[in-house]
Amino acid sequence: MDFETAAKMSGSRFTLLSGPLARLERAIAQFFLDTHTEEHGYTEVSPPLLVRDNALYGTGQLPKFAEDQFRSEATGHWLIPTAEVPLTNIVAEMIVEEETLPRRYTAFTPCFRSEAGSAGKDTRGMLRQHQFYKVEMVSVTAPEDSEAEHERMTGCAETVLKKLEIPFRTIVLCSGDTGFGARKTYDIEAWLPGQGTYREISSCSNCGAFQARRMNARFKRKGEKKTEFLHTLNGSGVAVGRALIAVMENYYDPSDGGIFVPEVLKPYMGGLGKIVSS
């Protein structure tokens, strides 16, 4: 884990991983994807990482949070802050049939955030980066099903942490901390022994019809002529970089500075049982 070399080429809030640690990061992401697609019924998507203004407007990042985004001067595209943006926009300007609901999508992508409003927060280490990887979950439902889907989605995120045997807690955010476009949010916080505290590793939100209205995403019930706005939900399933930190700290061996590989990740690591400090 090399911050100095990353800073040499990119500045602060970037990290270079190499060797077994880079493989461990990839293993965590693949494990998350496999679990969500094979056990939780999500469809894997490989989406664009550059989107237009309308896509970010639809999910609520524009215009309010423009300063938190990265933008290409060459084309005017925005780098996605999370795969929530392209995954949710799959149904933008669409009228879907009720029988196709719920729709569940997942993607593993890099995420890009300027962190403009986080001066002084987590400036060291890799907790808060300009570029990080995340496995995202998005659900699209009928209005009456979104509350149950929210509980289900949160359970999916909790499941991967249970499989990793990472201690965590789930809290419901008060209205003052709930995001701009969400009606209810659960934060899942993993235990980090190095800090002696719990830190957010996933946030699962029910956005109701807020995003659907901005995207004009609707559905039609069987036998009905009129359309209704869909409900959309999103959640981290989970943040890969923070999961890597949680694994490193919870599986740390103080006797030699090595890291034990969680049992569920060993198949993705070629059977390697421990990463030894070099």
Q: Which tens digits make up the pLDDT trace of 123-146?
A: 566 777 899 999 999 999 999 999
Q: Which tens digits make up the pLDDT trace of 77-130?
A: 999 999 999 999 999 999 999 999 999 999 999 999 997 555 556 556 677 789
| Cα 94 to Cα 76: distance, rounded to the nearest angstrom | 25
153-175: average pLDDT: 98
Q: How confident is the model at residue 193 (pLDDT cuts 50, 70, 90)?
A: very high
The tokens describing 16, both together, are 């270079």
Which CATH number does the domain 28-272 belong to among 2.60.40.420, 3.30.930.10, 3.40.190.150, 2.40.40.20?
A: 3.30.930.10
Give residue 232's pLDDT: 98
The tokens describing 192, both together, are 């980090």
Give residue 124's pLDDT: 62
DSSP state letter for 82: S
Helix (H, G, I), strand (E, B) or coil at 215: helix
Q: Which tens digits make up the pLDDT trace of 207-257?
A: 999 999 999 999 999 999 999 999 999 999 999 999 999 999 999 999 999
Which residues have a catalytic role annotated? 113, 128, 200, 203, 242
Give residue 222's pLDDT: 92
Give residue 154's pLDDT: 98
Task: Look at residue 258 and tell me whether its pLDDT is greater than 70.
Answer: yes
**Angle formed at CA 34 by CA 29 and CA 37, multiple of 5 degrees:** 120
Give residue 136's pLDDT: 98
Where does the chain show beta strands of DSSP type E? 43-44, 50-51, 70-71, 78-79, 95-97, 103-112, 131-141, 168-172, 184-192, 197-206, 218-220, 227-229, 231-239, 252-253, 258-260, 274-275
Where does 114-211 show beta strands of DSSP type E? 131-141, 168-172, 184-192, 197-206
* Domain residue limits, the chain: 28-272
Q: Which amino acid is at 256?
A: D
37-59: average pLDDT: 98
